[in-house]
Amino acid sequence: MIGKVITCKAAVAWKAKEPLSIETVEVAPPSKGEVRIKILATGVCHTDAYTLDGCDPEGIFPVILGHEGGGIVESVGEGVTSFQAGDHVIPLYIPQCYECKFCKNPKTNLCQKVRVTQGKGLMPDGTTRFTCNGQKLFHFMGCSTFSEYTVVAEISLCKVSSKAPLDKVCLLGCGISTGYGAALNTAKVEPGSTVAIWGLGGVGLAVAMGCRAAGAKRIIGVDINKDKFEQAKVFGVTEFLNPKDHERPIEQVLVEITDGGVDYSFECIGNVHCMRAALEACHKGWGVSVIIGVAGAGQEISTKPFQLVTGRTWKGTAFGGWKSRDSVPKLVEDYMSKKLMVDEFVTFEMPLEKINEAFHVMHEGRSLRTVIKM
Ligand code: APR
Ligand code: ZN
């Protein structure tokens, strides 16, 4: 099908707050610097739901959502040198161009090369590759993995081992890498540390896995759903706190049971009150709190400045600080050599036709991750 339009199935979001609808779509060939991929599997993430619910100020419809995918290169556009047909790949919603000032700075992973067009749901040349019934469909986060075929920029893609199961390692395209990297790259947790994690969903459990890998001694999970506790042990959580079981604010309880506060805390919910509690549960003089959860549009955080004056640090991270094209293939290798868990995050597998059910179980808090198999 090189150079030809491909007709295939995709889950289309026609409007905010409406279920996705399975449609036959046309996927144009990749233009210069682009790659067309056959998607084999994709995770469903809160960011997809956030956009579908109309919460994302950048959200544009109609759109093909999805950004946690794995697939095989079908064809490449003009000038593409780093991929060829048959390569196993993971799309990357934060690209790595190696040229912009962000890519050249070791302190950040936030490549800005295609930021403006990606935010508008367009390919870097300002157009789209998807149509349905003659209507243009927008791209999402530079990935659009809820489609049997998609087109992404060469800089928004990495090649991974062909031995790795794509229906598992697709999850390294977002949630797992984000949490794991927040512990290792952003917080830089040290051996012997005491940490607290707000929210024991997929992201929070990936943080726990990173803290355990870094040698943390106490990993305290904070969640209002007690059903999350048993499963969390598998990922390294050693103690549990349910804010509902305590009269006092949970940060006070933490300060008391940790002799002054935790060395590191992580917010993996997207709740601005939990963000404040996570900061204030940190130890005076050195405690570091990392924000990972995405709060609703327009929400603001607050605390007393004295919290920072007395030596606590407030940080945030996107995609766990990983420089994407350099790091995701290595994370896949680490999974293959059993250094990091991925299989354990898969709660359900479903065909594309059942994708609305995947959103449903996520909203009900019943899934860490659902993998859609095409
Ligand atoms: N206090 C403590 N725990 C809470 C609270 C609260 N006020 N509110 C929710 N939780 C718990 C839920 O019970 C759930 O176990 O937080 C957890 C969130 O997990 P998931 O919904 O599975 O979300 P996850 O996929 O881990 O993503 C977490 O990161 O991707 C960002 O902003 C996005 O909301 C998302 C967050
Ligand atoms: Zn860049």
Confidence of residue 57 (pLDDT cuts 50, 70, 90): confident
8 is catalytic: no
Q: How many CB atoms lie within 10 A of CB 226?
A: 11
Amino acid 158: pLDDT: 98
- pLDDT for residue 58 is more than 80: no
The answer to whether the beta carbons of residues 278 and 314 sit under 8 Å apart is: no
Q: Which atom of ligand 1 is nearest to the CA of 178?
A: 30
| CA proximity to 133, closest of 25, 19, 61, 27 | 25
Q: What is the pLDDT of residues 125-140, one digit of tens each?
A: 999 999 999 999 999 9
Amino acid 274: pLDDT: 98
Confidence of residue 371 (pLDDT cuts 50, 70, 90): very high
Half-sphere exposure of 144 (CA within 13 A, CB side): 37
- The full DSSP string for 82-122 is S--TT-EEEE-SS---S-SHHHH-TT-----TTHHHHHTT-
Which two tokens mark 128?
A: 């789209």
Counting residues of the chain whose pLDDT is more than 90, the rounded percentage is: 96
H or E element in which residue 50 lies: helix 46-52
Q: What is the pLDDT of residues 280-321, one digit of tens each?
A: 999 999 999 999 999 988 999 999 999 999 999 999 999 999
Q: What is the ipTM of this complex?
A: 0.97
Q: Which atom of ligand 1 is nearest to the CA of 295?
A: 32
Question: Active site residue: 42, 51, 88, 103, which one?
Answer: 103
| Overall residue count recorded for the chain in this entry | 374
Confidence of residue 1 (pLDDT cuts 50, 70, 90): confident
Pocket of ligand 1 (CB under 6 A): 46-47, 175, 198-204, 222-225, 228, 243, 268-271, 274, 292-294, 365
Average pLDDT of the segment spanning 331-357: 97
Q: What is the pLDDT of residues 78-101, one digit of tens each?
A: 999 999 999 999 999 999 999 999
Q: How far is the CA of 142 from the centre of ligand 2 (A)?
A: 14
Amino acid 153: pLDDT: 98
Q: Among 48-62, 114-128, 135-149, which is the least confidently predicted range?
A: 48-62
Amino acid 93: pLDDT: 98
Question: What are the CA-CA distances from residue 114 to residues 51, 88, 122, 145, 158 (Å)?
Answer: 19, 23, 9, 18, 16
Amino acid 344: pLDDT: 97
| Bond into 62 cis (ω within 30) | yes
Amino acid 54: pLDDT: 86
Pocket probe for ligand 1: among 235, 268, 276, 369, the residue whose CB has the most ligand atoms within 8 Å is: 268
Confidence of residue 59 (pLDDT cuts 50, 70, 90): confident
Q: What is the pLDDT of residues 277-290, one digit of tens each?
A: 999 999 999 999 99
Confidence of residue 364 (pLDDT cuts 50, 70, 90): very high
67 is catalytic: yes
Q: What is the pLDDT of residues 153-187, one digit of tens each?
A: 999 999 999 999 999 999 999 999 999 999 999 99
Confidence of residue 331 (pLDDT cuts 50, 70, 90): very high
How confident is the prediction for the chain on average, in pLDDT? 97
pTM as predicted: 0.96
